[in-house]
Chain A
Amino acid sequence: MEAASHKIGEIMDIACRAGKITLENGGEIYRVEETMLYICRGFGMKDSECYATPTSIIVSISDTMGEVHTRMIRISSRGINLRKVEAVNVLSREIMSSSVSITEAKTRLTKINNTPAYPLWLTTLAAGTATSAFTIIFGGGLVHFLFGLIVGAVLNLAIALLNRIELGYFTTNLFGGAIAAFGGWLLYFSGSITNWWIITFAALMQLVPGLLFTNALRDMVAGDFVSGISRGGEAFSIAAALAGGVAITLMILTRLGLG
């Protein structure tokens, strides 16, 4: 009896950690719920339920004695690291086909959580090339392409710094919008380009919540209404922060007579 409930605690711990990693790194709601159920069932807990929203996970397992064990965890950080999502997905499938022991699952989860992300220089370069590519898609020329590389890279570095000092998502995005607007304006003011918006918009593509909003509607269509509303609200707040940053910056520059 003692051993059994101890085991349930460990299974819940594994399921919760797997769900947390998936949700914190950009996994979909259905994937989080599916992953946790796979893990519970794979370890022999047939009678289990899981409910996830973008900000919390609740898992409940009833043991053979009919006693119900429940655990709730709060999710506060949300980023995108698809490598971790993929690794947890693979692990849950292996647990489902019951070839993984509890201890092994624990070590593998710790290992997944500590997987190094791409180094900062590489993501900065990627942010630069992404911005450059978007300037061309938005109808810019070679000048936009080259300056886009710089503005995109600077914005990525600035965001990495703001994330490190943990300013919170709203202020971070507010500053992100301001930096992108200032970069575009600086190049316009110095006469390098004839319009500020191509570079600003292209640089902002790395922050803009288009994917988040699409996922929100995807949740809605799939019937996950709570998470659909929640993600939609998150997307709107991020867009508001970015637009606020751009608007305030341009307003100040105009008032200074530099617009």
Chain B
Amino acid sequence: MKNVLFAAIAATSFGILFNVQRRNLLFAGINGGLGYLFYSITVAKGFESYVGMLTASIAMSVFAEIVARLRKAPASVFLAVALIPVVPGGAMFRFVLSLLEGDYELAFTYGIQTTLEAGALAIGIIVVSSFTKVLIRKFKQGN
């Protein structure tokens, strides 16, 4: 569980690297920790890592959409930074590294892992943002 704290620290640091405004940094960092928390809980329950990515991205997207409304900033400001600790960058890097080392079996494993994990993240983000758009439209019609 200490990893959740370090995921939040990593996300906040990336917030600075990505030039997120100071007043939004804290929420972006918290969102990073939240995503990692959902990911670790799901994986600890015995699910595959991409299922963890899916729950993490849904949790982070919902949090980002809520905070975006409160802070009057685009949701992706809070999302892009928070995704960093769970994003399969390492797996993609290892995929190419194994290709270069001639270990095609390992490369295949990492390639599939990268695609599944990034795909799960993308699906989570898209599903939440589609639902948000529908909800907002309904809400505006209601008024």
Chain A residues within 8 Å of B, Cβ to Cβ: 26-28, 31, 80-86, 89-90, 117-118, 122-123, 125-127, 129-130, 132-134, 136-137, 156, 201, 204-206, 208-211, 213-218, 220-222, 235-236, 239-240, 242-244, 246-247
Contact = CB atoms under 8 A, between A and B. Distances in A.
Q: Which 6 A-B pairs have the closest CB atoms?
A: A210-B89, A208-B89, A210-B87, A130-B13, A126-B16, A243-B96
Nearest to B21: A83
Given A126-B17, A137-B85, A205-B84, A221 B92 contact: no
B84 A211 contact: yes
Interface secondary structure of B, over-half rule? helix
A222 B126 contact: yes
A242 B7 contact: no
Given A82-B20, A122-B16, A210-B92, 6 more contacts: A83-B21, A204-B89, A214-B125, A217-B118, A243-B97, A244-B96
Contacts of B114: 213
Contact of A137 (B7, B81, B83, B99): B7
B10 A134 contact: yes
Interface string B114-128: 110011011101100
B105 to A, nearest CB: 17
Nearest to B96: A243
A231 B21 CA distance: 26
B17 A137 contact: no
Interface in B68-107: 72-74, 76-77, 80-81, 83-85, 87-93, 95-97, 99-101
Given A239-B95, A240-B96, A246-B97, A218 B21 contact: no
B92 A28 contact: no
Contacts of A243: 93, 96-97, 99-100
A205 B16 contact: no
B14 interface: yes
B143 interface: no
A222 B123 CA distance: 9
Contact of B9 (A118, A133, A246): A133
29 contacts: A28-B76, A80-B17, A80-B18, A80-B80, A85-B74, A85-B76, A86-B77, A89-B74, A122-B16, A123-B17, A126-B12, A129-B13, A130-B10, A133-B6, A136-B2, A137-B3, A205-B84, A205-B90, A210-B88, A210-B90, A210-B91, A211-B80, A213-B87, A217-B118, A217-B122, A222-B126, A236-B92, A243-B96, A247-B100
Contacts of B16: 118, 122-123, 125-126
B141 interface: no
- Which has the most chain A C-beta neighbours within 10 Å: B17, B73, B90? B17
A213 B76 contact: no
Given A133-B6, A221-B126, A235-B92, A210 B84 contact: yes
A156 B18 CA distance: 13
Given A205-B84, A211-B83, A213-B114, A220 B17 contact: no
Contact of A208 (B18, B74, B93, B99): B93
Interface string B122-137: 1101100000000000
A90 B77 CA distance: 13
Contact of B122 (A31, A201, A205, A220): A220
